[in-house]
A and B are shown apart, each in its own frame.
Chain A
Amino acid sequence: MPIQVKRLLMVFGLFIAIMAVLIYFLTPESWGEFGHYRGLALKEIADKEVKHVDVNETCAMCHDSISATFASGEHKSINCQNCHNVGYKHVEDPTKENIVKPEVTRDFCLRCHAKNPARPENYIKQVDAIEHNKDKVCINCHNPHKPWE
């Protein structure tokens, strides 16, 4: 075998050996547990913080009267956290600062209730924002927790 080939084979052998060592040491620990990915990743994703809390187990405990009103009204299918934002901090430490009291402008209500032909009539009551008491704020007449009162 010519000396060139011998030397080159040595170099390539060395290169492949280095690659093998790198692959051995750099492959993450839980690799290939379930497939071609880090098995630990599943756990890491699963361990992320839950921010939307269970309404029945938390909100209703303290705010029982509002909760009762709410449950009997037209808005009962809406989650508290849709308007008040996520409650995980408030549950830990109930203060006014860590829960959102929404600024109930006309636009806030109209996000759902603005007249739009795409909205199915049987699922949502809609108002023509231009004609329906256009200068008033909705909550002057409607209680967001029980809109038909």
Chain B
Amino acid sequence: MEKFESLYHALANLDGYIFPNEIVLNWDVLIVMYPYITGLVAGAFILASLNRVFNIEALKPTYVISLLTALSFMLVATMPLITHLGQPFRFYEMLITPHLTSAMAIFGFVYLWYLMVVLLLEIWFDYRYDMVIWSKEKKGFMRFIYKALTLWISDTSVASRKTDDKLGYFITVVGIPSAFLLHGYVGFIFGSIKANPWWSTVMMPVIFLFSAMVSGIALVMFIYMMINFIRKQKNDILCLDTIAKFLFYILIVDFALESLDQIHRIYEADESFDILKILVRGKLFFTFFIMQIGVGTLFPLATIGFFQFYKPKEHIRKIMYLIVSICVLVGIFYMRWNVVIGGQLFSKSFLGFTSYKADLAGGGSALLALLWFIVPFLILAFLLWLLPPWKKAPHVEHIE
């Protein structure tokens, strides 16, 4: 009886009519975490690519950091999904017998492609020379680790470094569409559900993609400042200004797309519109208008937009950038929340609502979701220790 307690509570607090099976909200905060983390990966990677492919020199200090951030979040990206499964130990079936008409099954392969072929390779090419050097400096176990990481290649010639650079560039170019694919696909998982009018829109993959970029860029900005704070280094203000500028542009696109989606929904006003209107004005009011639009979009837009015309003193800008990056991260989290949870709050009969409260007392999903958000930071710390970007040799072009 106890495990159904919150369900009985939900049953007693139904608004209108809802199909009896819909009282259970199957996709909880863990599934909110999944597109959130995947989005951070895609966004961080795209920021790294901006530097490399489009040669934006000012972003150089964040290049490796964004790659490592992307990797550390990528490694846990599937964990919220897997821990959410009713039968977690059967997850391998998704790779063994993937059902090709299912967006979720294809995601497994998109994920593997992205992790193995794009992220790992790019980082590997970037670090290969340094790892060879480190393997020569270190002794014992660490020496073995670095040697294994280089795949026992000990070539340090300039020619080999140039090859690394060329191949790394190629991977980055392949990586951009891959990152688009990765997060566009997550959007498609939701956007392709025709039963749910809140999800079912062709805009969904595009919106997910741009919000992913926004969140990833904000995350790298945050992590860059944190790393410098911990290492007691000075932030490169030009770099921060440039990141903020990109954040500003992409945030505008993201906001425009989301607005377009909503305006289209409001103007078309199909049969589901009445219930969605009540949903957004009622149960989603706080998370949608205040958190997602207010805190996550309008405030950062206003702040960074203001900085484009008038630049206050450096330390004020830094503090504001820190606040803005946190606001964006929170806002995008609530954007995912509004999609995932919001899409399940109303009945597919369009006649009523259920309610959702994360079962904190049960120690369930909310804590687990928090865990999957903290673990990437630990992985990142480990990666920064293993592959410190500040100990890297100067880029090959600078040697000649």
Question: B339 to nearest A CB, angstroms?
Answer: 29
Residue of A nearest to B164 (CB): A4
Instruction: Using C-beta atoms within 8 Å of the partner chain, give the interface range for chain A.
Output: 10 to 19
* A23 and B96 form a contact (CB under 8 A): yes
A4, A19, A27, A36: the one contacting B167 at CB < 8 Å is: A4
Question: A87 to nearest B CB, angstroms?
Answer: 27
- In the A-B complex, the 8 residue pairs with the smallest Cβ-Cβ separation, listed nearest first, are A7-B151, A2-B163, A26-B96, A23-B96, A3-B153, A36-B99, A27-B96, A7-B153
Question: B397 to nearest A CB, angstroms?
Answer: 18
Q: Is the interface of B mostly helix, strand, loop or mixed?
A: helix
* B97 and A4 form a contact (CB under 8 A): no
Cβ–Cβ < 8 Å partners of B164 in chain A: 4
A11, A26, A36: the one contacting B92 at CB < 8 Å is: A26
For the complex, what is the distance from the CA of A8 to the CA of B152, rounded to whole Å?
A: 11
Question: B360 to nearest A CB, angstroms?
Answer: 37
A5 interface hit (Cβ, 8 Å): yes
Cβ–Cβ < 8 Å partners of B96 in chain A: 22-23, 26-27
> Contact residues of A with B, CB < 8 Å?
2-5, 7-8, 11-12, 15, 19, 22-23, 26-28, 31, 36
A2, A12, A19: which has the most chain B beta carbons within 10 Å?
A2
For the complex, what is the distance from the CA of A4 to the CA of B152, rounded to whole Å?
A: 10
> Contact residues of B with A, CB < 8 Å?
92-93, 95-97, 99-100, 116, 121, 124-125, 128, 151-153, 155, 160, 163-164, 167
* B97 and A27 form a contact (CB under 8 A): yes
Question: A89 to nearest B CB, angstroms?
Answer: 25
For the complex, what is the distance from the CA of A15 to the CA of B95, rounded to whole Å?
A: 13
For the complex, what is the distance from the CA of A98 to the CA of B164, rounded to whole Å?
A: 76
Cβ–Cβ < 8 Å partners of B155 in chain A: 3
For the complex, what is the distance from the CA of A22 to the CA of B153, rounded to whole Å?
A: 29
A4, A5, A8, A31: which has the most chain B beta carbons within 10 Å?
A4
* A5 and B167 form a contact (CB under 8 A): yes
